[in-house]
A and B are shown apart, each in its own frame.
Chain A
């Protein structure tokens, strides 16, 4: 019969490289109509990074996402970037883009200040305007200012910047040091049904509460979490590269290497934990990799809760779970290790 269980797992995960420098650089060019172009060396690998980076640039310049065009992934035109790895794009590239946009914005402030009769430090960029802080009615359109900067003052609003997360090397003997600038935290709770006659595990529901600092785009955070959970399910229950005795891979195809499909996906409920990291762009950290981290642990704890067997080697295939259930039934007293 099917037995239901629940399991919880939490985790921590760092953003960026372990100690090693992993800088990003960026250029932001404000066009004469107040729209802007961002140059970045990162590559969109499907996670929506360019959308998030556009939002960061837009926020700094006080314009909308659609006012940004982002040019990426070409070593001829874009500044260097350590790339789409280590959950670092929002945090590191985001900081570089924010700093570059800020430099461009300060040029706009210098140009707008005499027109508005205030000091540049009294200005802010909001809602496509350069306006006096606390006096939003005293303003100029950002396009008007950008045009003036370039065509009248001869000072085009272009900013370039780079950023590298601060770290401290680890002691080789004790490992003491500051290997990362920041970390994120998360918990996932899984509910499963385990068929104690077949060993089959069905994941029914996963609740995921993830910290990513400020969610620059909550929809993309949810997408990352759902995708990470699908990888976590495959890691927990199905996927395994198998080798023969001569070291040749025996299942190098999607017929025999079983991975989750949409039919295997449980109901997923996502919560974004409120958090703000002062070192990230607008308080953001990252979310890419951690989404796949606690899933397997939560599922295996739920399997243990359901049928009382501890699977210690992944993946927990039906055969492995059934063998463990049988061993438990037979009253085996020996400790269950890899089956």
Chain B
């Protein structure tokens, strides 16, 4: 069995990189006594598999993580803890709350389920992500026009720097949704659903196209989408009551 977890990363902690997030989660799992499993070898590590890596500086309401558990520790659908959690047996909802206590401010477990191992990995199955971001120094009118023009056209040309050369490529096929959704104190707020395959398209690439000279403000991944029996859906839907901890 494994735990599948959906968590958020909001506020100052958006500047923490992906590898550091893994270390933070490992510490929270140890503090809570979650019966994790370890890799073999000279220096065993906790087995964790993350979904699509989130770029540093981005926020998220939709990070995913699979944690294989020691099968002996699952009793009647509850998780029997070890280590510093010795003596505790938690339902998944209790475990969700326990992990939230152990995580730093800015991280919150939004949903947690116990499920059988197997199936495609999170990383392979995510087809697209929805993002919400604002743009510093952009005019709403101009962005609106740029979006309309982009969606009408059959090409959206993005530039990517790769080593010494600049690649130009058409990303129109990877832009599934693109619209203005209000404004923030920085500028227009944009919602976009962008493909994760064959490569992940990032909001920062769109800023250059929609408002040259403007700067990406705060971007948040709000959804990661997978396909299940032809339907687009999320791996997990939030079960928390959105009691986001006081963010500084």
Check if A and B associate: no
| B interface list, Cβ under 8 A from A | none
Residue numbers of A with Cβ under 8 A of B are none
